[in-house]
Amino acid sequence: MFSLLRRRLSIYGAIMALIPKQFMQYSAWFWAEMIGQVLAMVIVGSFWRAVYASSTTVGGLTADSTIRYILLAQLVAPLVRWGMILEMGGLVSQGGVAIELTRPIDMQARMFAQGLAASLTNLIFKSGPLALFGWLFLGLTFPTDPLTWGAFLISWLLGFAALFCFDWIIACVVFYTTEAWGLHILREGVAAFLSGALIPLAMMPSLLQKVAAVVPFGQALYVPVGLLSGLIPLSGAPKAWLIQIAWIVVLLPLSRFVFSRAVRAVTVQGG
């Protein structure tokens, strides 16, 4: 049992190790994304400063805590975004799924390992420099308590896993429709609002907050960023983790079941 786990970890570790190498291949893409991110941070920061120009609190939150939250959310958002629906769509429409299904490894575990490695790569190469930019030019401050960082990391990993399983279920729809673009746009649009990337979920009308609570987007962004920014107190961390674990307990078996059904519908386009 232990040796099996070690063998598996060694395989998925090797897959993960390829991701940073792949990442380095596209420097133009990297810089384009960095510029986009910097602009987004400046614009979002300015927008919220303008909102707070006429009042000291909005939705019970002060200017400082909101802006801090929003800037941190901008840093963390790329760590929970992987375009899985489009990737699955590409695999199904161009027949690459045939190759995936003839590998002696679990496709879902493979994509999870790659997604996690891509996020860790982004954390180092994108979020790091962007955090420095935020600190130098936008007045962004970071918590000094290591416990807060620990709580954030645990919550980010749990949220990542929950959202991964959710996205996997949505991506399986591609096996039936063989068309991914519309689904991807819908997912990204909904996620932008309900993850708390643009507005702290606490500020949303109660109806939208209820909707946000039944989809896992917030689990992957609002909860970890809330802990990091102080919007969710450290004492609330264990409860937040339990909720995230509950999401995983429900979504993981469901996602595996959905995939096992969807894979029967595979037709493999193009001969």
Q: In terms of CB distance, is 12 or 69 closer to other proteins? A: 12
How far apart are CB 97 and other proteins at their closest, in Å? 8
How far apart are CB 167 and other proteins at their closest, in Å? 22
Q: In terms of CB distance, is 10 or 55 closer to other proteins? A: 10
How far apart are CB 10 and other proteins at their closest, in Å? 7
Run of H or E residues at 61: strand 61-62
- The angle formed by the CA atoms of residues 11, 13 and 17, to the nearest 5 degrees, is 120
Q: Are 117 and 19 in contact (CB under 8 A)?
A: yes
Dihedral sign computed on CA atoms, order 233, 235, 241, 247: negative
How far apart are CB 50 and other proteins at their closest, in Å? 42
Tokens 């689904």 identify what position?
183
15: contact with other proteins by CB under 8 A? yes
11: contact with other proteins by CB under 8 A? yes
Given candidates 185, 253, 268, 269, which one binds other proteins under the rule CB under 8 A?
268
Q: In terms of CB distance, is 33 or 230 closer to other proteins? A: 33
Dihedral sign computed on CA atoms, order 157, 159, 160, 166: positive
6: contact with other proteins by CB under 8 A? no
Q: In terms of CB distance, is 103 or 214 closer to other proteins? A: 103
Q: In terms of CB distance, is 100 or 243 closer to other proteins? A: 100
How far apart are CB 253 and other proteins at their closest, in Å? 18
Run of H or E residues at 58: strand 57-58
Tokens (6 digits) for 173: 């729809």
Tokens 């290591």 identify what position?
146
Tokens (6 digits) for 183: 């689904």
DSSP string over 66-114 = HHHHHHHHHHHGGGG---HHHHHHHHHHSSHHHHHHTSSS-HHHHHHHH
9: contact with other proteins by CB under 8 A? no
Q: How many CA atoms lie within 13 A of 181 on its CB side?
A: 1
How far apart are CB 13 and other proteins at their closest, in Å? 9
Q: Could you say which residues in the range 77-136 bind other proteins, by CB under 8 A?
A: 94-99, 101-106
Binding-site size, other proteins (CB under 8 A): 28
C-alpha–C-alpha distance, residues 200 and 33, integer Å: 24
Q: Could you say which residues in the range 248-267 bind other proteins, by CB under 8 A?
A: 264, 266-267
Q: Contact positions toward other proteins, by CB under 8 A?
A: 7, 10-11, 14-15, 18, 21-22, 25-26, 94-99, 101-106, 264, 266-268, 270-271
